[in-house]
Amino acid sequence: MRLDSARSLKAELLGDVVEPFAREANRMRSAGARAVSTVEGLVGPDATFGVRARPLGAVSATQRSIALGVSRHDRQFRLAVRIQRPSLKHSALVERIVARARGEADVRIVGRIDKRDATARAATPWYQSRLRPLLIGGSIGHVDVTAGTIGAFVRARGAVHILSNNHVLANEDLGTTGDTIVQPGMLDGGRVTRDGVATLGRWVKFRTRGANAVDAALARVGAGVEFEPLLLRGLVRGRNRMLAGLGPEFIDEGEVVYKVGRTTGATRGRVTAFDLDNIVVGYEIGNVRFDGQIEVEGTGRGPFSDGGDSGSLIVDQDMKAVALLFAGSDDGGRNGQGLTYANPIHPVLAALGASLLS
């Protein structure tokens, strides 16, 4: 189908099928152990979301179900269907969606998607070490956060800032303007007394009800702190590249992309879907929905990203910025190593009132 047809179908199915189903599932907050959907045509096991026993107040208001986007097929496009609950794979819900797409659907199980939290590792590669000058891809974080990644350097309100995720720099909205940002992040040995390199500036607050577009924040670089705004260290086959500015707004499925991040370093990937709506991501504050996202799979033996790579800048083959990495799954992708999710970079910069240094 044509691109405009795929986007139109996606919007129709979200409104007619997926969102009504998800709203019924969210009733588990009051139903306790399970919620039964009354969406037409869905009964029995297909209509039930299990949830483990826990306090009702701990149950998220947004439940994982199915995300819809667009992917390419030959010279045409098709509906991208991303199943976030494996139990829905053979459900009437998915059958109904595929039928509406007349079979022109790319269906994949992605499972649970979480923010890319950092975990400790034995070795200490350069991107987890203390970097002066600061470099894109280096470890960074709020003093109450483990560690994330320096995405890029931008200008906002006349000053230079570090771009990364809300959950890396603003601690999921718990931070306060002026809070200390350390490099490396606390998990990588950062200390407030010696490693404070920036202060929390602006960030986009999360909406726990309704859709979000970005997970993004800025930290103002401190006076006298040196930084290198363009170097992409070891990005392509171990060789350095230079950031070449802002990329296009439209990122097509199949495009090759790169990133360098705090945990997996430099990796190569391929865009597998775009315009993905109803991506539900797990945070400390609960599940958060995102619309208009990009999906990437790794092209090597390992994943494109892992915990701690949150905030990484994703660039295209021309070394132009196209997206900001924020979440990933442990399942999916051709190599079975999971899928990565990212905010398109243009909405990120617009929401923060920032421009990329180049």
Structural domains for the chain: 3-109 (no CATH), 126-228 (2.40.10.10), 232-345 (2.40.10.10)
Mean pLDDT, 10 residues at a time, the chain of 358 residues = 93 91 65 44 46 46 86 87 88 92 92 78 85 98 97 98 98 98 97 97 96 98 98 97 97 95 97 97 96 96 95 98 96 91 98 96
Closest CA to 264 of 354, 337, 159: 337
Strand partners, 297: 270, 339
CB contact at 8 A, 317 and 306? no
CA-to-CA distance for 205 and 216, rounded, in angstroms?
A: 9
Residue carrying structure tokens 């009702």: 56
CA-to-CA distance for 236 and 21, rounded, in angstroms?
A: 43
The predicted structure's pLDDT at residue 27: 63
SS3 for the chain, per residue?
A: CCHHHHHHHHHHHHHHHHHHHHHHHCCHHHHCCEEECCCCCCCHHHHEEECCCCCHHHCCCCCCCEEEEEEEECCEEEEEEEECCHHHCCCHHHHHHHHHCCCCEEEEECCCEEECCCCCCCCCCHHHCCCCCEECCCEEEECCCCCEECCEEEEECCEEEEEECHHHHCCCCCCCCCCEEECCCHHHCCCHHHHEEEEEEEECCCCCCCEECCCCEEEEECCCCCEECCEEEEEECCEEEECCCECCCCCCCCCEEEEEECCCEEEEEEEEEEEEECEEEEECCEEEEECCEEEEEECCCCCCCCCCCCCCEEEECCCCEEEEEEEEECCCCCCCCCEEEEEEHHHHHHHHCCEECC
pTM above 0.85, yes or no: yes
The predicted structure's pLDDT at residue 298: 96
